[in-house]
Structure 1
Amino acid sequence: MESGLVRKAIEDRIGGKPIGEVAREWCALGVTGTRGGRPNPQAITQILTAPRVCGYRANRGELLMDPETGAPLAGAWQAIVTPEEWTAVCATFSAGSLYMHRGSLSPRLTGRKAGPKYLASGFLRCGAEVAGGGTCDQPMGGCKSTRSRKSPYNYICNGAAGRGCGKCAISGPLVEDAIARSLFPADGQGKVRLPEPIRLRWHAGEMGFEEKRKVIASVLTCLVIRPGKKGSPAWDHSRVVPVWKWADRIRGAEPQV
């Protein structure tokens, strides 16, 4: 495995790139494992979080420490990244994914609590059609984008792990604008009516990230993302379809036409 490839993957991951996207890039470059297999997210996670990438030695899941200084022992090979960068990339994964911290009860290396980076993370489902009928319905994750100032990050359906179709992507700011429109429609005639103080604080920028996610979770089961049309420059808010909680009661309360 070329050190430059590992270094770039670590830098990209620290910058917010999904590990599935790294796996797709490695596959496109023709990278294979020692047994000829194609790289997958789990294997790449283990490579990026292995202590040897920053020069540290480890044995059976534990760093080898100098008994006199208490500092980690360095190996006789050239480090690919600094210890600080290794710690930073480890902090982007859940504890059970790390090279040295497998298992749900294992502590994180930095003690930093894992959490979503993007407002709609965990709420989006891919609405692309799949073979045989129906929709993909797999979760969509957020990732940074350098192609557009208007959309500095996107939500994508990850097809690298063999679960999602990989056919659907959408601008992050578009999704979050559509969420706000659904929760607080301009005409006040939405599916649900949230308290006025919540609307005012949301639009004034006084509501924090976690509180916004709690508001979304309180009324929405998920949001289905329909595929966009290629070459369309305008934002299409109808691509974001909210699935409301208590949908049966909402429909029952609507006036008959």
Structure 2
Amino acid sequence: MNEVAPVILVVSYARISADTARDGHGVEDQHKVNAETAARLGWTIAHRYTDNDLSAAKARVVRPDFEAMVKALKSGHMPDGQPVHGVIVVADDRLTRRAGDYERFVDALTYDEGRVYADAKGPKNLYSEDVESMGLFGVVISKMEVRKMQRRARRSHRSRAERGIPVGGKRPFGWKADKLALEPEEAAWLAKAAREVIGGKSLHSILREWQEAGVRTINDKEWASRSLKLALWNPRLCGWRKHNGELVRDANGIPVVGLWEPIVTPKEWMAIDAVFSARLGPNIKADGTVTDYRTPSYLLTGILRCGKPRGDGQICNAPLRASARPDLSGGYLYQCPSKEMGGCGGTGRNGAKIDEFVTEVVLAKLEERAAKTTLEDASWGGEGELNHLMSKQRKILQAWQADQISDELFFPENQKMEARVKELRADRTRHALRQQRAAEVTGDVRERWNSGQLDLAQKRALTREALHAVIVLPVGGGGRRPFNPDLLVPKWRD
């Protein structure tokens, strides 16, 4: 091309160290390389896209800048109307590490004739089948390398678990910075709470007592019911450890004892585990519907995500929360939490308008794939086996706690029952979800949605059935602006 072509510049980082991100040298150096490349080719930089610290290899990771870039390429212009004719990529292995993303990128770039592309080695013709095939081959090789690294990491974590070595990260509540020695005051609170749970006291009562006494988390925040439950349900309390959701055991099926000091005995923790395990399972109504344990008051709570970039180039990605705002049409606002609450506090949108738009696109998607299969038998066939196993587990646990059976007999037998109970509970949940989909994702879903036949919990379940999340991109420019649905990026489930 002889004309000066506006170019989308993709700066796609996978990982940047805290020091580099703080001083900005990594970003500035790559921007300099990009500017030099554009000048050498006679191209003009229209925009820089940066997905910093967001892995291109993970299917569930949302990369807002990559999605915005593909959208701009497909349309041939930026949101402000500025035309674009190509891309410069800093590191092609950071642009895409999955074949599907690479194909989407190439399809968008070559949507019109005459688009240009360059990477660190220089310009390439992505209209050539050979070049496109080589790029796809590179993505496959990159994915293989990622999988090797993931396997090595998993082996390392497993090895540490089997040797009883504490995991990385912050110290757990109840232990000192070395994660081995007890923090006496915190450990005493945990021990007291553990024995109260075994004695039948509710988490709510324990939580209220902690709040009144000023007991704070290691991040100096108030305890919440969920965080307290997780702390008490953690087998670390008795010196054991879980890996991938399962107790780490030796060849005889007996849990491996860690190097840290325990707070309660194994028998006490097993009693806590029995209390909490008995409460597991979805909140299933008589009609098979799976609902939230506590249904939020607004449709998209926990589904909307803040897409505002941070100073280091990452998006905030915090779940937006809803709050009443009588001054707004509709009366409520979806807003990113403050920095103290884990968000950035910089994104807020009219809740009623977002609900209206997302409802429409979700209903359209559900209508497209309206169920064509007949509703299967509503009853689940595993209820009897599950109840029998849970009763048997309670009896064997009581016998072990009373020293009537040995560790060598109890742990292997209990492990088998735990595995089967887990399978049955998962199957029960899948069955209930199948019932819900077959009953609700039908051709008249719009009529039932709008007529009030579906309650909020059912609407949220259907929304989650269609969407992973909705990224709310920043408006920009300050002040109130008209509602723009283009700034909402749905992330659909397959």
What TM-score do the two structures reach when normalised by structure 1? 0.49
What TM-score do the two structures reach when normalised by structure 2? 0.27
Higher relative contact order (CA 8 A, sep 6+): 1
Structure label with greater radius of gyration: 2
